[in-house]
Chain A
Amino acid sequence: MTARRLRELAARLGPPLCAAIVLLGLWELWVRWTNPPRFLFCAPSEVVRDAMARAGELAMATWNTTVAVAWGFALSAVVGVAVGVMLSGSRVLERALYPFTVILQTVPLVAIAPMLVIWLHAGVQAVAVCAFIVSLFPVITNTLSGIRSIPQPQVELFRLYGAHPWAVLTKLKLPGAVPSIMAGLRIAAGLAVIGAVVGEFVAGELGADRGLGIVVVVAAKQGDLTVLFAAVALASVLGIAMVGAVNLAAYFLMYRWHVSERPD
């Protein structure tokens, strides 16, 4: 890594880190000054202290949730792009099925999670499916609109040269929809984390496989505010890491040719 790259990295990470330090500092000072009862509020330093004391357990929980999120996200990426491609192929199919994909967006997860437990039993598979259901819609709809926005002359060019439908898909539709698909995946990455944590409330396991959602439920029942904060913070970090991974993939796929990824 060159000195210039390092400076760019510092310029990117500096501002959000500073903002976080200032906010956490203000929070810490405020708790120390006002000294609220600890079942109502606690200081960041106390969260860190208690989290350290139970580091092994929290790390395990984070790992378990990560596994469910990764499965759910991967599934919604594959299925979402496939469904989007399918719907883009036919107006009739789109009209017939698209309204039902909206259900994915509106049905409350906590209402379907019990059904998933009945069909799949509680555990990582049910939690992954929760993450999948919640994150699927943006992938479908963005893939669809990405393919639909490909300029007509480009489509006609392929028709003129008698392109095989497979060539149209792999050489035109998919690459042309990449910017849009990446935007969908970026939204899906965050939603998958929410889906998994909420899914765990209902469909998670209590034993050694428990994830952050279960840690949240147990800590809330026990009034363990510091652990609650720690679990929420870890879930956020997981979400940021997921979105970061998608951004990285988008960069490598598009920096050469797309405006959104061009270096300043």
Chain B
Amino acid sequence: MRGEFFINGRREVFDFDSKKTLLRVLRENGYTEVRNGCETGECGACVVLLEGIPVNSCQVLAASVVGKKITTIKGLNDGKENGELHPVERAFVDAGAVQCGFCTPGKVLVSYALLKKNPDPTREEILTALDGNLCRCTGYTHTVESVKLAARYLKGYSEEGRDE
């Protein structure tokens, strides 16, 4: 079947199998920044924002989200490849929360979505928001710090014009 999606602000039209997951459709069409860690909805590496809300793309049937807005990690930087970082990304780096980096985009997107709704989350709210992002490298010791730092960095950062 054929369907259109709005990915990182750009209109895309894909031909895809009616049973395929969003994860597969995205990766097969070049959005390899969306990662496959388990494909059973249990690790969070494949998280994307669907209309601004984090979901495991491996648990979403692509056909069910035709016409919807999808944001991958690259959407935070408007597709720029020059090394610039979004404040939430910068916060994760500065807090020392990045080791192998495989799980990190998922964590960043969840944090971004949380902070949009709740600019000053408590420790509990942060841990609950990130309860579906598995990580084996860092031991999660920087989780709360990264998000609180991101909250600080976001103050005064304008996102006008971003469509997600």
Is the pairing of A and B real?
no
